[in-house]
Structure 1
Amino acid sequence: MSFNRPTLSELIERGRADIESRLPGADTRLRHSLLDVLSRTHAGAASGLYGYIDFVARQIPFDTAEDEILARWASIWGVQRKAAVSSTGTLRFTGTNGSAIPAAVQLTRVDGGVYRTTAAGVIAGGEAIITVESIDGGPGADMAEDGTLTLSSAVAGVNAVATVQAPGLRGGAAEENDADLLARFLQRVRQPPEGGSRSDYERWALELPEVTRAWVYPAWMGVGTVGITFVLDDREDIFPGSADLLEMEAHLDVRKPVTAELVVFAPVPRPVDMIIRLTPNTGPVQDAVLAELDDMFARDSEPGGTLRLSRIREAISLAQGETFHDLELPSTDPVSGPGEMLTLGEVTFL
């Protein structure tokens, strides 16, 4: 039989009844009485203990565990939480020619964010371009081109302010959250390693920071080949670049069976343009529709997949404020070819 945690009110009533049963004639319900204060104080302490027991009970099954307990459960199966990723890029330093800028020099952003150089450099022609990374990971450390950082400590012959170069400081990713870690952990438990099965490759691919979805294609380019493609949903552009592909290939190369030949590739985006007759056709409702469509594409789109019109209509109907709509385009289920992936294209509201 399941245990029902008593409420604070129930605990107060239990305390009052207990006192009255042991002190005949006592009335614990008198306003401002010492006995009522004792009943409430004891009930509050007991409620806190019940709450802690409730928390501990959720940590025992690993599918309801949280934070460090979930991470510890996962680590027993060899699944580690993905750490936050630093933003990286280049800075333009200016100053006196010949002035040296050592590696690991710290710089600060106006809001207190801290960065450091990852290579040394020397001012030549009035400037030096040097690589830099954020000390704390996460997307909040990203910076746009022409942003500025200030040296934390003076460097002889170097101006204090450095400028972010194109394309900016990018690549910051937050630490993996509990939901994503649990999904990878449950996959490991339910689909144990099998020496290079489809699920093995998918699990290996998802181990990389920022990788949120991956697809595996046996015999992609013929017998003995395995095709791997993936996306990074937390980025503005979810499709992997050349550096991401090389990192994935290196990551898989030490894990795959020696006889398998890897083909790591990026999906080709195939935009789906839409024409929607929307009621009411207002800015807030349009924004809500676009948000729901983005979420639907993230859930349903996959390389070589089909997107049902019913799912598109459902997403539009879920938008807050929408009362009626007519989907004029597309008129048939959008289909992507092998290696292609459907994405939200231009949306026209009528």
Structure 2
Amino acid sequence: MPYSTPRLKQLIAQGEGDIAFYLDDSEPRLPFSVERGLNFANSAQVKDLYDHQEWIARQIVPNQESDDEYIVKHAQRRGVIRKPASAAFGLVTMAVSSGTTIKAGQRFQRGDGVIFKTKEEHTAESDSISFEVKADSTGQVTNTEAKVELTPASTIIGATGNAVVEDEGLRGGADIEPILDLLYRLQLKMRNPPQGGATFDYESWALEVPGVTRAWAENGWQGRGTVGLTFVNDNEDDIIPSQPQLDAVEAYCIEHEDPATGDRVGAPAGPELVMYTLTLKPLTPNIHLVPDSADTRSAVTTSLKTLEVRSASPGGKLLISDIRQAIKTAAGVRDYTCSLNSDQTSTKDELLTFGDITWV
């Protein structure tokens, strides 16, 4: 039988019984007796002790009920360091005269004031030049869509007009790692201790890169001696990574400084790491809700997205029973109909995602 922490009312009743049993002629139930006052104070103190014990129990093994600071401490003790906020980066193009030099550290400003800087010096060999910039600040707000213009903060001799963000956009900007993402990485490491090149080692390394939220590795991706690695960024509008993001994760997995120890670690010699991107396979169900309102639609959309993040994987399957449960258990939904009536599957280079829902 599971242990149940007594409530304050039960502790008071127990105290009254003890006083009446051990102290002759006492009146612990009288409204204004000394015994009643002492019993109330003692019962409240005992209840505080029980509550503190419950709090301690929630901190011993890190879980979703643990306090944030203790999840961070548990993670640090096991070498899982919370990812800091990161800055967006990517390629921009600018119309210039041949021979024009873009100096390292050249500043460009977005319309809302966000500053970007060049990483290296570049010299144009034609009337157009492409170069990489990185945000001077951090956070998801630094991500920038394609075709957005960045204005030079100082004159660039030989340049005409502004720098224009290329098709993949400036991406990789992320806020400080959410505590539940840190808990997931901590639990992943506790269940899969590092083994110097197992598939889950590659997944763990990828997840250490700011912005990466889910990662998958597979042995023999292109035959013996190869390891395929892919990932997504769920906090960005386009969850499929850009080429600069793929390059950054690849470089990190090959060799990086361990966040906890500072030692150089990474992929072992021998296996070839192959980075690849997934193709999204959108599910576009027709759903009728009872009651049908903006709140229930939002709740169902959120519930299906949670299911996608928790259960979808390359070459995986979303069970129809899980989809139905996600809709039925969304806040406010009493009944529903859904056009999906079977398990949804994907190939090994596809990822299931819920696209536009048609509300019937």
Matching of residue 342 in structure 1 with residue 352 in structure 2: yes
Whether the aligned pair in 2 keeps the contact of 1:144 and 1:164 (CA below 8 Å) is no
Q: Distance in 2 between matches of 1:106 and 1:62?
A: 47
Q: Distance in 2 between matches of 1:105 and 1:259?
A: 40
State the match for 2:306 in structure 1: 295
Query: C-alpha displacement at 1:71, in angstroms?
Result: 5.2
What one-letter code is carried by the residue in structure 1 that aligns with 2:88? Answer: S
Whether the aligned pair in 2 keeps the contact of 1:121 and 1:130 (CA below 8 Å) is yes
Identical positions, percent:
32
Aligned counterpart in structure 2 of residue 319 of structure 1, from 330, 336, 354: 330
Q: How does 1:227-246 map to 2 (within 5 A)?
A: 227-246=228-247
Matching of residue 175 in structure 1 with residue 176 in structure 2: yes
What one-letter code is carried by the residue in structure 1 that aligns with 2:346? Answer: S
Q: Distance in 1 between matches of 2:68 and 2:293?
A: 41
Q: Distance in 1 between matches of 2:220 and 2:126?
A: 54
Whether the aligned pair in 2 keeps the contact of 1:114 and 1:136 (CA below 8 Å) is yes
State the match for 2:136 in structure 1: 135
Match of 1:137, SS state, is coil
What one-letter code is carried by the residue in structure 1 that aligns with 2:227? Answer: V
Match of 2:228, SS state, is strand
What one-letter code is carried by the residue in structure 2 that aligns with 1:330? Answer: L
State the match for 1:29 in structure 2: none
State the match for 1:330 in structure 2: 340
Q: Distance in 2 between matches of 1:312 and 1:221?
A: 33
What one-letter code is carried by the residue in structure 1 that aligns with 2:322? Answer: R
Q: Distance in 2 between matches of 1:311 and 1:143?
A: 35
Q: TM-score, normalised by structure 2?
A: 0.65
Q: Distance in 2 between matches of 1:81 and 1:337?
A: 33
Q: How does 1:1-350 map to 2 (within 5 A)?
A: 63=62, 64=66, 66=68, 74-89=75-90, 102-109=103-110, 111-120=112-121, 131-145=132-146, 147=148, 154-155=154-155, 162=162, 164-167=164-167, 168-254=169-255, 255-327=266-338, 329-350=339-360
The count of residues paired between Structure 1 and Structure 2 equals 300
Whether the aligned pair in 2 keeps the contact of 1:58 and 1:65 (CA below 8 Å) is no
CA displacement, residues 316-341 of structure 1 (integer Å, 9 cap, x when unaligned): 223344332111x2221112233322
Query: C-alpha displacement at 1:304, in angstroms?
Result: 1.7
RMSD: 4.3
Q: Which runs of 5+ in 1 are unaligned?
A: 7-49
Deviates more, 1:287-296 or 1:58-67: 58-67
Q: Distance in 1 between matches of 2:254 and 2:146?
A: 35
Q: Distance in 2 between matches of 1:331 and 1:59?
A: 40
Q: Which runs of 5+ in 2 are unaligned?
A: 9-48, 256-265
Query: C-alpha displacement at 1:105, in angstroms?
Result: 3.4
Q: 1:197 to 1:348 in 2, by over 3 A?
A: same
Q: TM-score, normalised by structure 1?
A: 0.67
